[in-house]
Chain A
Amino acid sequence: MNQPETNDPLDALLHEENKYIEDNGFTARVMAALPRQQRRAGWRPILLLGATAVGYVLAIRWSAWNLIDLSALLSLNLHAFLAYGVLLAIIASLLWGVTSSLGWEE
């Protein structure tokens, strides 16, 4: 590492003998032995689940009839598309919230 500061042959010998040791997979073994990253339930999953629940209640009240009426969807009714869009968004948010709370993402 450091150069010897004196002309003492003992220092020179000690320095010469301090050779670099090749890694040879040592770092990989250490990294493999590290504990897995802890799953942390942060604020985001809680917020997501709460917002999803509120959105779900509101959406059901607003669009229940539009969801039931499939003929409105087939007739390209804008309200029907919005209702199904909201439903899909709710399902996606719910899945995201659940997976986040379980720590399946980084």
Chain B
Amino acid sequence: MSFSDADLIVRVLSHEDQNAFGELVRRYQSPVRGFLARMTNGDWAMADDLAQETFLKVWQKLRTFRGEARFSTWLFGIAHNEFRSACPRRKELACADVETELESEAAASATDTHLHLDLTEALRLLNSGERAAIILCCQNGLSHEEAALVLECPLGTVKTNILRGREKLRRRLNIAYENYEPA
């Protein structure tokens, strides 16, 4: 029998049911760890530490979840806050604007038609706002409004970041698309 998120949350809140909380963790560990791994440029150790902190915060704060948004949206918001808290300690991850780097590498790629960067590498070239918006909306299925809630920024900023991020990815992955065949 499969319980909904709401059922599990009620069980956690009313009985402090750790089994129900464990089911929530199992259900969402993959998207949260994946999101944080992307945000930390593939630093899996750091991503897992942040994911663990995220779920511990969820345990502590679950009573403040009012159900106005999806549980996953609220969860990603906590994960993003954990990432932002870690960001000052690891400035190289996302705080630096990599626009200049991107432009120079894009210029280089134009002269090297054999250069291929996979998506992971391409995502590294986005700034953290663009990367987060792309991962949340294009990979995890959040709406722009939900992403704005998670990232605590205006809706217009999310839309702009997605547009700019997609354009950068398109430019960067352009060579791969020439031979792209959907799976």
Point out residues on A near B: beta carbons under 8 Å: 1-2, 9-21, 23, 26-27, 29-31, 33-35, 37
Contacts and interface: CB of A to CB of B under 8 A. Distances in A.
A34 B31 CA distance: 21
A12 B182 contact: yes
A23 B29 contact: yes
B138 A33 contact: no
Name the 3 nearest CB pairs between A and B, nearest first.
A2-B141, A21-B30, A18-B139
B48 A33 contact: no
Given A16-B183, A17-B120, A21-B33, A30 B52 contact: yes
A1 B28 CA distance: 11
Contact of A34 (B18, B51, B182): B18
28 contacts: A1-B31, A2-B140, A2-B141, A10-B138, A10-B166, A10-B170, A10-B173, A14-B119, A14-B138, A15-B138, A17-B119, A18-B34, A19-B34, A20-B30, A21-B30, A21-B34, A26-B48, A26-B51, A26-B52, A27-B26, A27-B29, A30-B22, A33-B52, A33-B56, A34-B21, A34-B56, A37-B16, A37-B18
A26 B166 CA distance: 32
B59 interface: yes
B139 A31 contact: no
B22 to A, nearest CB: 5
Contacts of B33: 21, 26
Contacts of B182: 9, 12
B55 A30 contact: yes
Nearest to A13: B119
B180 interface: yes
Contacts of A37: 16, 18
B25 interface: yes
B169 interface: yes
A7 B160 CA distance: 21
Interface string B171-183: 0010011001011
Contacts of B48: 26
A10 B52 contact: no
Contacts of A18: 34, 139-140
Given A30-B52, A35-B59, 16 more contacts: A1-B139, A1-B140, A9-B177, A10-B170, A16-B183, A17-B120, A18-B34, A21-B37, A26-B48, A27-B22, A27-B26, A30-B56, A31-B18, A31-B22, A34-B59, A37-B18
